[in-house]
Structure 1
Amino acid sequence: MKEQIRQISIQLFAEKGFKETSIQDIVNALDVTKGTFYYYFTSKEQLLMDIHLSYIDALLEKQKAILNDGNRSSREKLYDVIFLLIHDIEKEGLSAKVYFREMRNLSEPHFSKIAEKREQFRKQIEAILVEGMEKQEFRKDLPVDIVALGVLGMANWSYFWFNPEGRESDRAVSDIFMKLLLEGLKGSQ
């Protein structure tokens, strides 16, 4: 039942928004009582926090596996992280939408806990970039923190526009992003 509450809430939060969705909306959609909801969650915000933690913890675990793969170059690791983000947005769909759009509805200390995990994800992208710079796979004249934020901006914003049934697949979008990162928009002269 806890997972059913999570899933219907993700759907409702994605469709209506967190603030516009009431606990009554959630229990009505499941045809259960408010008591059932409160058995699993103390509040709607605790439910939102649970959704956020599940999403970011799964991303961090997958990112850790990428980082620890000693057989991959820094370029391959960066590609894998970009693909992870795009693919996860495709795979998780509404969860990704809720994760990216509804964080602002978390109060302290929930907000800080999620922000800390997001920061960890970003720092691990920075580690890939530094490793690549040291191995001369990436240029060294750009600030690592801004490049990492650029990677996250490109990949994370795709939750808003990426359509898995659209013109380009998650793999193709990841390829485009990598080409843009590594080659820029420089034309042939």
Structure 2
Amino acid sequence: MKEKITKASILLFEEKGFSETSIQDIVEALGVTKGTFYYYFNSKEQLLMEIHLDYISDLLNRQQTILESSNLSNRKKLEGIISLLIHDIQDKGPSGRVFFREMRHLIEENVKSIEKQRDLFRLHIEQLITDGIATGEFRKDLRADIAAFGVLGIVNYSYNWFNPMGEISANELSELFSSMLLEGIVPR
């Protein structure tokens, strides 16, 4: 039941926003009582925090799998992370939109906890770029910190507009972003 409450809440938060969604809305969507909700969650904010933790923890675990792939070059790892993020929008779009849009509704202590996890994801990309610079895979004049922000800025913003059922697939978008980020948009 906890998973059903979470899934229904994600859809409601995506559609109506966290502030406009009441616990009553959540329980009505499931045909259960408020007591059922409170059996699993102390508050709507606690539910939102768990949604955030689940989302970022899952991303970090999948990112770590890519980073630990010793048979992949730094470039291929970066392409893998770009693909991971785009496919995540395809597979978990509502969760991603809630993650990015609704964090402002968490209490400050919880925001700091989530920001640490988000920073860790970014720092892994920064280290990957630093490693790629050291091996000559990436340009020596790059600032790894700014490049990492750039990668995340381009890719993460896609949750606002990317429609996996639209004219471009997640694979095509991942390849386009990888090519654009790694080779630029100016013809050689």
Query: Residue 109 of structure 1: SS of its match in structure 2?
Result: helix
Q: 2:6: which partner in 1?
A: 6
Residue type of the alignment partner of 2:70: G
Unaligned runs of 5+ in 1: none
Q: For 1:83-128, what per-residue CA distance to the aligned partner results, in whole angstroms no more than 9, with x for missing partners? A: 0000011100111111111111111211000000000000000111
Deviation for aligned residue 1:187: 2.8
Residue type of the alignment partner of 2:129: L
Q: 1:160: which partner in 2?
A: 160
Query: Residue 45 of structure 1: SS of its match in structure 2?
Result: helix
Instruction: Give the Cα separation in 1 of the matches to 2:30 and 2:52.
Output: 21
Q: For 1:37-81, what per-residue CA distance to the aligned partner results, in whole angstroms no more than 9, with x for missing partners? A: 111000000000010011000000000011111100000000000
Q: 1:86: which partner in 2?
A: 86
Q: 2:51: which partner in 1?
A: 51
Query: Residue 187 of structure 1: SS of its match in structure 2?
Result: coil
Q: 1:183: which partner in 2?
A: 183
Q: Does the alignment pair 1:151 with 2:151?
A: yes
Q: For 1:4-42, what per-residue CA distance to the aligned partner results, in whole angstroms no more than 9, with x for missing partners? A: 100110010000000000111111111111111111000
Q: Give TM-score scaled by structure 2 length.
A: 0.98
Residue type of the alignment partner of 1:93: G
Q: 1:63: which partner in 2?
A: 63
Deviation for aligned residue 1:185: 1.9
Unaligned runs of 5+ in 2: none
Residue type of the alignment partner of 1:23: I
Residue type of the alignment partner of 2:185: L
Residue type of the alignment partner of 1:56: I
Q: 1:96: which partner in 2?
A: 96
Q: 2:35: which partner in 1?
A: 35
Deviation for aligned residue 1:173: 0.7
Q: 1:127: which partner in 2?
A: 127
Count of aligned residue pairs for this structure pair:
188
- Please list every run of at least 4 consecutive aligned residues from structure 1 whose deviation after the TM superposition is greater than 6 angstroms: none
Identity over aligned pairs, percent: 56
Deviation for aligned residue 1:183: 1.6
Q: Give TM-score scaled by structure 1 length.
A: 0.97
Instruction: Give the Cα separation in 2 of the matches to 1:113 and 1:130.
Output: 26
